[in-house]
Structure formats: structure tokens, C-alpha cells
Amino acid sequence: MIYIAQLRTQLEQTFSPLACECNITGDHTLTIKLYHPVSGQVDLVVSGLNVTMLQTPESVAALIEELRYELECNSLQRPDPVV
């Protein structure tokens, strides 16, 4: 399983200039928030992710692709995306 700090670093590198928060909840699920570090504007929040599913580099890559897709869909609905 990947460590949460490693996952956060990898997500920030992938989605730069966005910042990332990764939190484990009481039921051992993961919440990921991607946001603009200066304005604090949140671009994406995904919760309820099963942490045990992130055991391989391939599963982390699949998660990143899913987040990329969700982020792209969210930004298409925003009239003036902040970059």
C-alpha cells in the first residue's frame, strides 16, 4: 500500500499548480481534495476511496487517470477556470 504522504506528493506533481490534501477517515476510506493553494478554491473532492485498493503503482496510476477525468469534467462546467 502506498503511504498517504507519497500519494499526496505524487498528486501534487501530477496536478501542479494545484495543491492536494489526502485524509483517511474513521472508516479507513480516503478523501482527496485538489485546490488552488493561493485562493483556496477547491477544484475537486473525492471521498470514500478504498485505501487497500492502492497497493500497486498501476492502481495509483488508474486513480490519477480517474481524478484527471473528473477534474476535466468539472472544469468544463466552470465558465472561467482558474489556472
Report d(CA 11, CA 35) in Å as an integer. 11
**Domain enclosing residue 47, as ranges:** 4-76
Residue 19 lies in a domain: yes
Residue 34 lies in a domain: yes
pLDDT value at residue 53:
87
Residue 2: is it exposed, middle or buried by C-beta count within 10 angstroms (0-12/13-18/19+)? middle
Residue 82 lies in a domain: no
**pLDDT tops 70 at residue 82:** no
How many structural domains are present in the chain?
1
Residue 81 lies in a domain: no
β-sheet with 19-24: strand ranges across: 19-24, 29-35, 42-50
Q: What is the pLDDT of residues 10-32, one digit of tens each?
A: 998 999 999 999 999 888 899 99
Instruction: Enter the pTM of the model.
Output: 0.81
Q: What is the pLDDT of residues 19-72, one digit of tens each?
A: 999 999 888 899 999 999 999 999 999 999 998 888 889 999 999 999 999 998
- Answer whether 53's CB lies under 8 Å from 40's CB: no
